[in-house]
């Protein structure tokens, strides 16, 4: 007889949704209580990247893939310096990680970073619930935090809403830092950090870009202080309707016609800067299998998404904006949500999804090349002028 490694069962845990639905399972990661917006992610790989994506700040992420933690935790794949999700919901956590790069188990990592999770619940039922009723507030309680259901529900209903939340400043860097170009330096880019993922400056650096990452509070003057060839606005958490400061900085950049690129939150900022509205999706796009069509080429790319809000821009026509003509460049074929914007009269574009793709497919990596070619065209025109 071998001795059982199943050990003592983990503490009971309860997941309570704001509409009163309750799931009971076992604690995973840290024991205690946590709150956030319940969202589901359909990616079958890349849990480390997901956990460390700042855009998931204040969200409780439900993994639709049942087995999580199989490859453990390594030191290379995180997208930022910490785990940002406020809670984690999985069905079957790995008992033993297996990968040549693994350093420790995910359970250990979650515990070390104080992330409260729950395991062993019907994650598909929860996902279907969120799909039908929309993303909503949720609480996870384990150990001593488990109390009477009604008390827990009241706590969940007291937690803050995602709509109206201004969160970029909470996740962005406080100090400016520089990511040097890999190989020969060709361009300088000022990147406004609204919750940037580590892979984004890396993808730029690979293309000879020296990236100056600036805090979310950076002003137009701060941006131009680095003498940029292009300006970038990153992804990030929260409601774009609250991001007035970022919108005004972007408008400053657009006025100067500096090449501009935005990802995710950056796309919503561009939308607002151009005068479009933004709105909250029922349950968002979170996964790495979303079909997006590049309307300029007709080609479909399989892309990584993580957005709960979207830009409200017309799909069927070119819009007039204070910065000239604008059009929707990319669209999600699942539901026709705007996935990209571009200006036709000056060098600025953005996408709602994640071309840096960590986790996710690399189909949209060409967008970084599009950014560098905008910068070289602009440089050449400047030289000719």
- Residue 262 touches another protein, criterion: CB under 8 A: no
In 3D space, the residue among 132, 146, 186, 130 whose CA is nearest the CA of residue 10 turns out to be 146
For residues 52 and 258, which CB has a smaller minimum distance to another protein in the complex? 52
Judged on CB neighbours under 10 Å (0-12, 13-18, 19+), 380 is exposed
Provide the minimum distance between the beta carbon of 35 and another protein in the complex, in angstroms, as a whole number.
Answer: 23
- Residue 125 touches another protein, criterion: CB under 8 A: yes
Q: Is 362 labeled as catalytic in the residue annotation?
A: no
Task: Tell how far CA 338 is from the center of its chain.
Answer: 16
Stretch touching another protein by CB under 8 A, among 67-75, 80-88, 234-242, 314-322: 67-75
- Residue 122 touches another protein, criterion: CB under 8 A: yes
Provide the minimum distance between the beta carbon of 331 and another protein in the complex, in angstroms, as a whole number.
Answer: 11
Provide the minimum distance between the beta carbon of 131 and another protein in the complex, in angstroms, as a whole number.
Answer: 6
Cα first-last separation, the chain: 82
- Residue 361 touches another protein, criterion: CB under 8 A: yes
Q: Is 264 labeled as catalytic in the residue annotation?
A: yes
Number of residues that bind another protein (CB under 8 A): 60
Provide the minimum distance between the beta carbon of 20 and another protein in the complex, in angstroms, as a whole number.
Answer: 16
List Cβ neighbours of 274 (8 Å cut-off, separation of 6 or more). Answer: 313, 319, 321, 322, 323, 326, 341, 343
Judged on CB neighbours under 10 Å (0-12, 13-18, 19+), 343 is buried
- As annotated, the binding site for L-glutamine includes 55, 236, 238, 265, 268, 306, 308-309
Judged on CB neighbours under 10 Å (0-12, 13-18, 19+), 381 is exposed
Query: Among the options 129, 285, 305, 354, which is catalytic?
Result: 354
Task: Tell how far CA 376 is from the center of its chain.
Answer: 28
- Residue 362 touches another protein, criterion: CB under 8 A: yes
Provide the minimum distance between the beta carbon of 360 and another protein in the complex, in angstroms, as a whole number.
Answer: 7
Q: Is 305 labeled as catalytic in the residue annotation?
A: no
- Residue 77 touches another protein, criterion: CB under 8 A: yes
Taking residues 129 to 168 in sequence order and writing x for each that binds another protein by CB under 8 A, - otherwise, the string is --x-------------------------------------
List the interface residues with another protein, window 28-47 (CB under 8 A).
40, 42-46
* Helix ranges, 191-296 (H): 199-205, 220-225, 244-255, 265-273
Q: Which of 81, 82, 95, 154 binds another protein (CB under 8 A)?
A: 95
Strands (E), 275-377: 277-294, 300-312, 319-321, 324-332, 338-343, 348-351
Q: Are strands 22-29 and 209-214 parallel, antiparallel or unpaired?
A: unpaired
List the interface residues with another protein, window 270-309 (CB under 8 A).
287-291, 293, 298-300, 302
- Residue 92 touches another protein, criterion: CB under 8 A: yes
Phi, psi of 317 (to 5 degrees): -155, 165
Query: Among the options 264, 301, 307, 332, which is catalytic?
Result: 264
- Separation of alpha carbons 357 and 365, rounded Å: 8
- Residue 372 touches another protein, criterion: CB under 8 A: no
- Residue 66 touches another protein, criterion: CB under 8 A: yes
Tokens 């600036």 belong to residue:
214
- Residue 235 touches another protein, criterion: CB under 8 A: no
The DSSP result for 9-27, as a single string, is PPPEEEEEETTS-EEEEEE
Cis peptide before 115 (omega within 30 of 0): no
Active site residues: 264, 354, 356
Q: Which residues bind another protein (CB under 8 A)?
A: 1-2, 4-6, 23, 40, 42-46, 48-49, 64-67, 70-71, 74, 76-77, 91-92, 94-101, 121-125, 127-128, 131, 287-291, 293, 298-300, 302, 333-335, 357-362
């Amino acid at each position: 007889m071998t001795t059982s490694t199943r050990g003592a069962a983990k503490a009971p845990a309860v997941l309570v949704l704001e509409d009163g639905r309750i799931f009971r399972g076992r604690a995973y990661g840290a024991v205690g209580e946590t709150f956030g917006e319940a969202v589901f992610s359909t990616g079958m790989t890349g849990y480390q990247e997901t956990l460390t994506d700042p855009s998931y700040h204040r969200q409780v992420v439900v993994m639709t893939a049942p087995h999580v933690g199989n490859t453990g935790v390594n030191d290379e794949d995180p997208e930022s310096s910490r785990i940002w999700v406020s809670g984690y919901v999985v069905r079957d956590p790995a008992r033993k990680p297996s990968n040549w790069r693994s350093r420790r188990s995910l359970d250990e990592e979650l515990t070390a970073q104080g992330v409260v999770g729950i395991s062993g619940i019907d994650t598909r039922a929860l996902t279907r619930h969120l799909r039908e009723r929309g993303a909503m507030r949720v609480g996870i309680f384990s150990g001593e935090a488990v109390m009477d259901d009604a008390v827990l529900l009241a706590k969940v209903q007291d937690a803050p809403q995602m709509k109206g939340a201004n969160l970029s400043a909470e996740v962005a860097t406080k100090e400016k830092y520089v990511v040097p170009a890999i190989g020969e330096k060709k361009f300088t880019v000022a990147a406004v950090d609204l919750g940037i993922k580590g892979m984004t400056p890396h993808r730029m650096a690979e293309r000879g870009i020296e990236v100056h990452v600036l805090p979310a509070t950076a002003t137009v003057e701060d941006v131009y202080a680095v003498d940029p060839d292009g300006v970038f606005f990153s992804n990030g958490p929260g409601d774009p309707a609250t991001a007035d400061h970022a919108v005004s900085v972007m408008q400053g950049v657009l006025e100067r016609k500096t090449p501009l690129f935005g990802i995710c939150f950056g796309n919503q900022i561009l939308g607002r800067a151009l005068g479009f509205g933004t709105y909250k999706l029922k349950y968002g796009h979170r996964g790495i299998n979303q079909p997006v069509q590049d309307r300029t080429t007709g080609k479909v790319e399989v892309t990584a998404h993580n957005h709960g809000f979207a830009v409200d821009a017309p799909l069927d026509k070119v819009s007039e904006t204070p910065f000239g003509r604008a059009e929707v460049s990319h669209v999600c074929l699942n539901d026709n949500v705007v996935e990209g914007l571009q200006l036709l009269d000056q060098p600025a574009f953005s996408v709602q999804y994640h071309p840096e793709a960590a986790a996710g497919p690399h189909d949209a990596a060409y967008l970084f090349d599009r950014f560098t070619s905008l910068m070289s065209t602009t440089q050449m025109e400047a030289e000719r002028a």
